[in-house]
Structure 1
Amino acid sequence: MKYRRLGKTDLNVSVVGIGTWQYGGEWGKEFTQKEVDGILDLAQEFGVNLIDTAECYGDHLSERFIGDYLSRRKREDWIIATKFGHHFHENFERSRHWRPDEVLNQLDASLKALQTDYIDLYQAHSCTDEEFNNDALWTLLDKQVRAGKIRNLGVSLRTNDYSWQTEKASDYKVGAIQVVYNRIDTAPEKSIFPAAQEQNLGVLARVPLASGFLSGKYKPGAFFGDNDVRSKTNEDQINRVLTKVEAIAASEVPEGVPMSSWALSWCLKHPAVTSVIPGCKNTKQVEMNAMAAEFASQDHPQSI
């Protein structure tokens, strides 16, 4: 495994982390604590130290799985990133909650679910520019940093159209951003990455496998059940993406290299990207994802 400083923060993160949206039950599978323990234990064996979650991956469900795990392990071995701004409801619906008092309640609920006294990276989750541009909110968050509940602040951008939040990040003492970036969606290269590099912001690349399509295991015509968020995507759009993936696999992926490992390392070669945070449904995927570190650039400017 390789490690990089997450921008201007004090966090040294593994170049491959673990995204945990799937633990909330929206990706076609419900998890048990034993399965989560096995995934995280193996990830640690491969040198992974970064877990990304959110209060609305289930109603703190993902956080509770992680908290149960942490309660039986060394907390200091892990860098925990979570998010705020939403509340999970039945049928995978979410409501938005951005008032300072609501965010403070969310923070305390996340700390309880995670069974920890502090969060390493607390991220505004898919906020609008109006929700972001709120001095009272950031004043509240700064107080929590000084109180020791939060080590660093971040922003998980709603979409790749929200470059303004990246440009203003340092004004609110934000040290890292999270953005959708993969071989299919390269939009951040245009304006988000330059703004991040100018401010020395850490960059977490989410959806680095394009919702699993860059894993190489899906073909055009793939079907996803009602309990899988991908079922909400237009079928024609999915088939267009999978057709493009087939072309990439044939022309860009070296022979003998798993496509998922290649796709993650492709993200890591951009000098703005600190770490990728793919989801893992099983231990085999943990191994494939961790292999990406072997192909990551040795001369990355943030490498440690």
Structure 2
Amino acid sequence: MQYRKLGNSDLEISAITFGAWAAGGWMWGSTDRNDAIEAIKASYDVGVSSIDTAPIYGQGTSEEIVGEAIKGISRDKVQILTKFGMRWDLAKGDFAMHSKNNDGQDIDVYKYAGKESIIYECEQSLKRLGTDYIDLYQIHWPNSTTPIDETFEAVSRLIDQGKVRFAGVCNYNAQQMAEAEKTLNLVSNQIPFSMVNRGIEEETVPYCIDHNKSILAYSPLERGLLTGKITTDYKFQEGDHRAKLPHFQPEFIEKTNQLLDKIKPIAENHNASLGQLVLRWTIERPGITIALAGARNAEQAVQNAKAIDISLSKEELKTIDDLVNAF
């Protein structure tokens, strides 16, 4: 595994980081708790020392699973990345969505990052994770009802108390990052990026490169689409959010699979799967520090981690880049 420092911090995390959203079940059509725990343990065994989670993933379930999985691992050998600012138990801030919890009950989710809410959320996360500090604490989504300085003053307090080591953001644009920086040093921004979703390259990537902020790319496999395993007649499980997304409609699936067919020979040359090739390409992109990869079971987790073993030549990277640019 390769390990990369976040921003100007001394926090090193694995270039392939375990993304624990699907582990929480919520929006992914349920989860098997034991499989998820085994997936995290198996990825740790092959060098994936960093796990990204959030309270909203399964309304606490994902964080509990992460806490369970890291029991018995020396705490300084694993990096826990979690988030704050999405409440399903408090109707305050910006309304985000109607949803259902893992028991099928209706919930309303709000984006809220008020000071007292962050302090409360941190305590809950620490309990669920079974730890006394979080390595990277990230706001999950921008919240328009709370001044940015209020939000990051709260995070700053948590850092002073030793409950948080470093601060990051998710889904922030360059302007929002610059505003947050006035209050607190940020080390990273976690944003969606994939071969078929490259909007951040316009403004956010250049800002992060210029200001030495790391980018944690989430959904680098475009929620499974870039594995090549999704066909136009794919049947999604009940409760799987992907069924309604534009990227999972037959026309886009077909177009994506044509792109994947063109890069498949490169994967085959390296005895690698398409998913592994896509992950390796992602962390070779300018400004991208880390790729977050989710897994439902131990085998998937190990396969994701092995993406690091691929060594792409300049010619191969250019071939892929050209195909992606033409997409």
How high is the TM-score relative to the length of structure 1?
Answer: 0.90
| Paired letter, 1:177 | N
Aligned residue among 115, 137, 141 for 2:155: 141
CA deviations over 1:189-230 (Å, ceiling 9, x no partner): 111111001111111100010010011111112221222111
The equivalent position to 2:298 in structure 1, one of 279, 283, 295, is 283
User: Are 1:170 and 1:199, in contact at CA under 8 Å, matched by a contact in 2?
Assistant: no
Amino acid of the structure 2 residue aligned with 1:238 = Q
Conserved in 1, the CA contact under 8 Å of 2:148 and 2:179?
Answer: no
Amino acid at match of 2:29: G
| Residues 1:113 and 2:128 aligned together | yes
Q: Are 1:118 and 1:150, in contact at CA under 8 Å, matched by a contact in 2?
A: yes
**Partner SS state of residue 178, structure 1:** strand
Distance 1:206-1:39 versus aligned 2 partners, 3 A rule: same
Aligned structure 1 segments of 4 or more residues deviating by more than 6 angstroms: none
Letter in 2 for 1:267: T
- Determine which of 243, 248, 253 is the counterpart of 2:254: 243
Secondary structure at the residue paired with 2:249? Answer: helix
Which of 178, 187, 200 does residue 212 from structure 2 map onto? Answer: 200
Which amino acid in structure 2 is aligned with residue 114 of structure 1? L
Aligned mates of 1:183, 1:296 — CA distance in 2: 18
Shift of 1:69: 2.3
Q: Number of residue pairs matched?
A: 293
Describe the shift of the 1:203–1:288 C-alpha distance in structure 2 as closer, same or farther (beyond 3 A). same
- Residue deviations 1:59-111, cap 9 Å, x none? 21100111122233222211100000112366144223321101110011001
Residue identity matched to 2:254: T
For 2:154 and 2:113, locate their aligned partners in 1 and report how far apart those are by CA, in whole Å.
Answer: 11
- Runs of 5+ unmatched residues, structure 2: 90-98, 102-106, 315-327
Q: How does 1:77-226 map to 2 (within 5 A)?
A: 77-88=77-88, 91-92=100-101, 93=107, 94-128=109-143, 130-131=144-145, 133-157=147-171, 162-171=173-182, 172-226=184-238
Amino acid at match of 1:58: G
Aligned to 2:11: 11
- What SS does the corresponding residue of 1:153 show, helix, strand or coil? strand
Shift of 1:40: 1.7
Task: Give, in whole Å, the separation in 2 of the partners of 1:134 and 1:179.
Answer: 18
Query: Once the 2 structures are TM-superposed, how far is the Cα of residue 237 of structure 1 from its aligned partner?
Result: 5.1
Structure 2 CA distance for aligned equivalents of residues 212 and 112 of structure 1? 31
CA radius of gyration, larger in: 2
In 2, the alpha carbon distance for the partners of 1:58 and 1:237 equals 22
CA contact (8 A) 2:126 2:134 kept: yes
Deviating more after overlay: 2-11 vs 166-175: 166-175
SS in 2 for 1:82: strand
In structure 1, how many angstroms separate the alpha carbons of the residues matched to 2:189 and 2:146?
Answer: 13
Q: 1:297 to 1:10 in 2, by over 3 A?
A: farther
Does the 8 Å CA contact 1:179/1:204 hold for their aligned counterparts? yes
Q: 1:113: how far off?
A: 0.6
- Aligned with 2:120: secondary structure? helix
Structure 1 pair 133/298, CA: closer, same or farther in 2 (3 Å)?
farther
Higher relative CO (Cα under 8 Å, sequence separation at least 6) belongs to: 1
Contact kept, 8 Å, 1:268 with 1:297, in 2: the verdict is: no
Q: Following the alignment from structure 2 to structure 1, what is the Cα–Cα distance between the partners of residues 52 and 249? A: 26
Unaligned runs of at least 5 residues, structure 1? 300-304
Q: C-alpha distance in 2, partners of 1:140/1:169?
A: 12
**Code of the aligned partner of 2:7:** G
Conserved 8 A contact 1:166-1:192: no
Q: Give the alignment partner of residue 270 of structure 1, picking from 262, 267, 285.
A: 285
CA distance in 1, matches of 2:261, 2:214: 32
Question: Structure 1 residues 296 and 133 mapped into 2: Cα distance closer, same or farther (>3 Å)?
Answer: farther
Could you tell which deviates more after superposition, 48-57 or 84-93? Answer: 84-93
Q: Is the 8 A contact 1:167 1:195 kept in 2?
A: no
